[in-house]
Structure 1
Amino acid sequence: MYPLTYVDGYRIPIREEVYVLDIIPLTAGPATISSDQKLSLFNPTNLKAGPQLNLLTQHGNITCAKAYDAGNAVICTAGEDGSVSMWDLRNDPRRADVARLTDNPVSVSSLACSDAGYSVVVGTELQDHQASIIIWDVRSNSAPVLHYKEVHSDDVTELNFHPSNHNILLSGSTDGLVNICDIRIADEDEVIIQTFNHDASIHHAGFLNDTEVYALSHDEKLALYDMAENHQNGAATTDFGDMRQVLGCQYIANVTTKLNGAGAVIGAGAHDQQAFELIHMRKGQGWNLDRDGSVGLPGAHSSEIVRSFCFDDKAQTVFSAGEDGFIKAWRPNA
């Protein structure tokens, strides 16, 4: 394992316990959402100076955020009250909130955006025996253009658009299913074009490339599936099993797909050891974990859980965020 060095950081300076919930990598620098209901943007070379932009969201409790546009200037946030806000981070803070999508009263548990398809999508928690996937066209941001009520039977915990087709949407749920949907189809009986049964509550799921997807359960089971025609039975093509046993960790924070198609990175933590490790998942003859080439963040976020991590490849920096209220920057030794 190759250790990185902690070079910079910032902690939210308030007395009560505040979690940094997620990091969203943007062109301008890392953005974070935190449990004090803030959306913050940081200078990637000077975290300790504090947020360059610090916006108070209005969702009750904020739950998720995603970049909307390829230029990474607009970000969407959503939360407990069911609404979605769109923020243009180039604007003055008083004018940063550029759109608010409503007509959903149910708490949002997942979010996806596609500027190619002018789409913002939320997945909701289960309420009144119904969990929804709701889609807005931001060119007419009043009422949703689609509302699926039967795609999942429990909380919709993950949404991701296909990397090259903005009409294809992946959804994951605590019902154990990962569904691939064609959102050009309004009929709920026809919208699902493929289903993978992970047989455990979905924590994270996403596309690895044009045909392969991963699914990670809340009990840390990881498996890969393939949409290609020669894998139509829906069974896992690679089943890694319980990652706590495979990696000797206590939790998986997330799986981050590499944008160049060179696999993915698994973030694995052990809070009682104050450890966090980044393990590359590569594809050769099959998918394999590169344990020898793993990268460590020594000390991590002390004994607190690491919630999120992301990369700035140009600056050779890893950013991490955790339940200690910190965002941290890590780099190789000079």
Structure 2
Amino acid sequence: MNDGLPPQIPITYEPALIQPPLALRQSSAFSHGDIYIFDIAANSNNLIVSASNHQIKLYNPQTLAIKNVLQFHTDTISQIKPHGEHLVMSSSKDGRVAVWDLRTEGAPVQVFTAPNNNPLLSFDLNLSESILAAGTELVEYDASIHFWDARNPTKLMSTYAESHSDDITNVKFHPTNASRLMTGSVDGLICQFDLTDMDEDEGIMVVSNTGSSINKIGYFGPQSEYIYCLSHMETLSLWNAEDADAIHHFGDIRGVSQSALGLTLDYGIDCQYETESGRLFLLSGSNEGNINILHVNATSLQLCQVLSGGHSEIVRSTCWDSRRGILYSGGEDAKLGLWTANALQETIPLQVASASSRHGSPLQARSEGKSARSTPY
């Protein structure tokens, strides 16, 4: 008998895994009133924030001073991603993926529109920057993955409509294989595809049934050979990407809350793989606004640090450059938090790897030619 309580997940306290520790350096209000922050991303020059009023705001990443406001979407912004130093991409329930050139004012430089303006919940651009994929909400019994030629917003290459039976919450291309795609859904399935010939039946490689509505998925490991999965039921599981076998089910991560360690864990935010150390970290939060950073071992968790004082309500998103010792946070209190390592010098800029640093970007070249706890979805 376990009287209905989740099994206790083994946890230890290992503060040495994050040294020097992070501390709140600055807090800023996104806006006033009943508005909360959905998503946070960053490149070297901008902190990029989306919120429930359909706005995207750009901030100075060191001072949190407002730089610009991007307004285009007419419904919930489901995801934002920087692309290189000058481009930002955003998807929305208005059925569009917008590409913004931050060097220009006004409208996006490209817009990809889903058939029938079906609400888009997730998107990604593959490694070769040739395919844009986006997942939809369930509409009239169909949840689809749309594929566009990234060089031509009017060219819809294919649509997959058979693999998922509910909202597609995650679309992730493999970090090193431009033809490999992973999707996650409220139906509990993680599907992996080979897009060599863009045929859905032939392209589906493996399917993992997590048994829970999927909130966040991502690749990790030296060759991106593993997958983490956070569910809307606040469970965490690890999977083998090649054969879809489960490595470990942690179960309900709220079971790790321990007052003796100052840890209250009410929900998961996301996981992050640190390539330099090979470590996977779980970022989680408490209903009071604390942020917990935990190292994920094969069958246990290690608490590294609890960040407190930056938020008073649920934290929806974080953006963490662990190598540089900088973390941004945003939540339902409409506040932005800037956390830095104690030894961080004020004058050192944020460094974030970008696609454009690897090779020329067709998206960027095109734009340069034009101008010299409810779920967010």
Structure 1 length as normaliser, TM-score?
Answer: 0.88
Instruction: Judge conservation of contact 2:127–2:173 (CA < 8 Å) in 1.
Output: no
Q: Relative contact order: is structure 1 or structure 2 higher (C-alpha 8 Å, sep ≥ 6)?
A: 2
Partner of 1:32: 49
Using the TM superposition, name which of 257-266 and 28-37 deviates more.
257-266
Instruction: Mark the runs of 5 or more structure 1 residues left unpaired by the alignment.
Output: none
Partner of 1:236: 246
Partner of 2:81: 66
Say whether 1:245 aligns with 2:260: no
Paired with 2:193 and 2:268, the residues of 1 have a C-alpha distance of: 26
Paired with 1:88 and 1:264, the residues of 2 have a C-alpha distance of: 32
Paired with 1:165 and 1:62, the residues of 2 have a C-alpha distance of: 28
Q: What is the number of residues matched between the two proteins? A: 316
Q: 1:229-274: per-residue Cα shift (whole Å, max 9, x none)?
A: xxx3x331111111110345111111122244622221111114x4
Partner of 2:3: none
SS at match of 2:163: strand
C-alpha change, 1:59 and 1:287, in structure 2 (3 Å) is farther
Match of 1:83 among 96, 121, 141: 96
Cα shift at 1:27: 2.4
Structure 2 length as normaliser, TM-score?
Answer: 0.79
Partner of 1:309: 318
Paired with 1:41 and 1:262, the residues of 2 have a C-alpha distance of: 31
Instruction: Judge conservation of contact 2:129–2:150 (CA < 8 Å) in 1.
Output: no
Paired with 2:206 and 2:137, the residues of 1 have a C-alpha distance of: 22
What CA RMSD, in Å, does the superposition of the two structures yield over aligned residues?
Answer: 2.0
Instruction: Judge conservation of contact 1:102–1:143 (CA < 8 Å) in 2.
Output: no
Partner of 2:271: 255
Instruction: Judge conservation of contact 1:213–1:224 (CA < 8 Å) in 2.
Output: yes
Paired with 2:279 and 2:149, the residues of 1 have a C-alpha distance of: 31
Partner of 1:52: 67
Cα shift at 1:329: 0.3
Q: 1:61-98: per-residue Cα shift (whole Å, max 9, x none)?
A: 2221123x3x2421211112211110112x12226x11
Say whether 1:158 aligns with 2:182: no
Cα shift at 1:33: 0.8
Paired with 1:270 and 1:212, the residues of 2 have a C-alpha distance of: 27
**Amino acid corresponding to residue 262 of structure 1 in structure 2:** G
Instruction: Judge conservation of contact 1:108–1:124 (CA < 8 Å) in 2.
Output: yes
Say whether 1:322 aligns with 2:335: no
The structure where strand makes up a greater share of residues is 1
Partner of 2:309: 299
Matches within 5 A, 1:177-326: 177-209=189-221, 210-228=224-242, 232=243, 234-247=244-257, 248-260=264-276, 262-272=278-288, 274-282=289-297, 286=298, 288-291=300-303, 294-302=304-312, 304-313=313-322, 315-326=324-335
Partner of 2:38: 21
Paired with 1:240 and 1:103, the residues of 2 have a C-alpha distance of: 37
Paired with 1:328 and 1:107, the residues of 2 have a C-alpha distance of: 30
Match of 2:28 among 1, 6, 10: 10
Paired with 2:95 and 2:77, the residues of 1 have a C-alpha distance of: 10
Paired with 1:139 and 1:260, the residues of 2 have a C-alpha distance of: 33
**Amino acid corresponding to residue 155 of structure 1 in structure 2:** D
C-alpha change, 1:156 and 1:251, in structure 2 (3 Å) is same
Instruction: Mark the runs of 5 or more structure 2 residues left unpaired by the alignment.
Output: 1-12, 16-20, 258-263, 344-377
**Amino acid corresponding to residue 56 of structure 1 in structure 2:** Q
Q: Give aligned-pair identity as a percent.
A: 30
